Amino acid sequence: MQNQVSQYQQMGKDILDAIGGSANVTSVTHCMTRLRFILKDNSLPQDDQVSTIDGVIGVNRSAGQYQVIIGQTVDKVYDAVCALGGFTKAKPINEDIDTQPIAKTTFSWRRLGATVMNKLAGSLTPMIPMLVAASMFKMFAAVLGPSMLHILTGSSDMYRLLTFVGDAGFYFFPIVIGYTAAKQFNTSPIVAMFLGAIMVHPELIKIVTAGKPFSVFGIPMHLVNYSSTVIPIILSVWLMSYVEHTLKKYVPAALSTIFVPTLTIIIMLPLTLCVVGPAGGFLGTYICNGILAFGKLGGLPTILAIGVIGALWELLVMTGMRLVMITTMMMLIAQAGQDNFVTLGAAAASISVAGMCVGAALRLKDPKQKALAWSYLLASIVGGVTEPALYGIAVRYKRTFLGMMIGGFAGAIYAALTHVAAYVVVPVANFLCLTAYVHSDVGNLINGIISGVIAFVVAAIATYIIGVEKKPHKASKQALVHDAKTVEG
């Protein structure tokens, strides 16, 4: 135990030295696998030098952060870094994504795009546990119900329970996202949830279903059903943050408890129901319809597009850009009931990571690296955490990245050729991602599983055949040897 503590302390010291010392650190926190530094001078760290520290899997620069990928022992290294640098410990980030705010700096379209992505990430990814649970209930209903195994009848209490519990996870999106978005936009979570509840109130649904004109304070309201929608509530909470902030500036503190939330909702009602909500609903609907239509076109362009998603998905994971695709996936399933495009590539790519681990483990000669490769396989295929494999194998031994991409491409192509569709959101990267294909059409599930098997096998074979580059080794803590580029095996 003492040796392990010393090891973490040494790692913490080496990392701090390599990034410019504790004086260069503004703040530091961690997520599931990464140390996340906000640095005063981002030019001081040398990525190659940091990557060669024993125990460090890789580095990444994203959203104004300098991220050091450690793996499952990141909390121990974080404790050591905080002790050595005298930093105040921060609450861990539950999502292994880039949700931290970007440091204030001059405007650029790139920074604006990064900010939008961060806000989307922070609003949507906390929902993943709920989506996983809801999707599992929907899967059980589909498998056990009258559409597949006929174990449960459509009128049985158990079938009805599984159905409405699964649907609840999607139907009440505006309420749940109201809370998560409020956290991102620094506004009242409870008031934001209240706004989301208004958007899915049964009376509003009844008004929309009736199709008769309705007005909000005399302003005509667009008849939109906001249940299972994503964009309208995010836009509304974003706008609400400005409304609430302005009211707090002008309403006396003694009266703010009563008047700020009340006036916020009064102002937001016409803005949400007559302007922002319909605009967001229109945008979300046409994005979904456009993607579904593209997926249904068939032919070589669509098949190749799905294959490209399978090949490049893990690159999106590493850069934090997968949020665009995940958001699309959520909208498609929630609003259209299926996704015949994004999930096909994403699921194949996730399984291909495990295949790459197998190919690399069989090819590597170094016992320590071989053992790590097998551990990455378990973390990926069972735990659903792909980053250790991505940074420990794909980035460290660059040729393996190609094997993984080939596997993802092959699995996605098969899914596209067999017209597979996903019917539940299963936003995990382990083998359970294939349960997204559960449906009354058993062939859909079978082909979905086959696509995963193809991704795994092809990635393993391709990685083994292509070979594994030896990782450049260190001459010291401060220097690299760059001439070790032979292929192992």
DSSP 79-137: HHHHHHHTPPP-PPPSSSS--SPPPP----HHHHHHHHHHHHHHHHGGGHHHHHHHHHH
pLDDT at 75: 86
Which residues make beta-bridge pairs with 69? 34, 58
Task: Name the amino acid, one letter, at 434.
Answer: L
Residue 40 contacts by C-beta under 8 Å, 6 or more apart in sequence?
20, 23, 24, 25, 26
Residues 6+ away with beta carbon under 8 Å from 124: 177, 180, 230, 323, 326, 327, 330
Closest alpha carbon to 284 in 174, 386, 194: 174
| CA gap 95, 80 in Å, rounded | 22
- Mean per-residue pLDDT pooled into runs of 10, the chain (489 residues): 70 91 88 86 84 83 82 85 86 52 52 67 74 78 80 92 88 91 92 96 93 93 85 91 94 91 96 88 64 66 87 74 66 78 90 94 89 86 75 82 95 94 78 84 92 96 87 39 37
- Cα-Cα end-to-end distance for the chain: 35
Nearest to 153 by CA among 335, 258, 161: 161
Give the amino acid at 168: A
Residue 82 appears among annotated catalytic residues: no
> Which residue type sits at 397?
Y
- Give pLDDT, residue 94: 53
Could you tell me which residues come within 8 angstroms of residue 335 by beta carbon, excluding any fewer than 6 positions away?
228, 229, 284, 285, 288
Please, is 229 exposed, middle or buried when counting C-beta atoms within 10 Å of its C-beta (0-12, 13-18, 19+)?
buried
Give 29's strand partners. 36
Phi, psi of 52 (to 5 degrees): -90, 0
Q: Using alpha carbons, select from 54, 49, 16, 48 the residue that is nearest to residue 35.
A: 16
Per-residue pLDDT at 284: 63
Neighbours of 212 (CB within 10 A): 8
Domains along the sequence of the chain with CATH: 2-94 (3.30.1360.60), 120-295 (no CATH), 298-469 (no CATH)
Half-sphere exposure of residue 119: CA atoms within 13 angstroms, side-chain side: 19
Distance of alpha carbon 4 from the chain centroid: 32
**d(Cα 93, Cα 74) in Å, to the nearest integer?**
12
Q: Which residue has the tokens 């109201």?
A: 178
Measured between alpha carbons, how far is 322 from 334 in angstroms, rounded to an integer?
A: 18
CB 422 within 8 A of CB 436: yes
Q: Which residue has the tokens 């090949």?
A: 311
CA distance linking residue 481 with residue 476, whole number of Å = 9
CA distance 70 to 77: 8
pLDDT the model gives residue 427: 66
Q: What is the pLDDT of residue 477?
A: 37
What one-letter code names the amino acid at 295? G
Contacts of 353 (CB under 8 A, 6+ apart): 314, 380, 386, 389, 390, 394, 404, 429, 459
- Among 31, 288, 357, 433, the active-site one is 31
Alpha-carbon span 75 to 34, nearest angstrom = 9
- For 363, the 3-state DSSP assignment is helix
Q: 28 has which bridge partners?
A: 37
Tokens representing 312 are 């490049």
Please give the Cα distance from 362 to 357 (Å, whole number): 9
CB atoms < 10 A from the CB of 479, how many?
11
Token pair of 393 as six digits: 């194998």
Cα–Cα distance measured from residue 434 to residue 417, given in angstroms and rounded to the nearest whole number: 17
**Six-digit token pair at 67?**
């991220």
Torsion angle, alpha carbons of 165, 134, 95, 34, to 10? 140
Q: For residue 297, what pLDDT is reported? A: 66
Maximal CA-CA distance, the chain? 76
CA angle 477, 474, 38 (to 5 degrees): 50
Give residue 121's pLDDT: 66
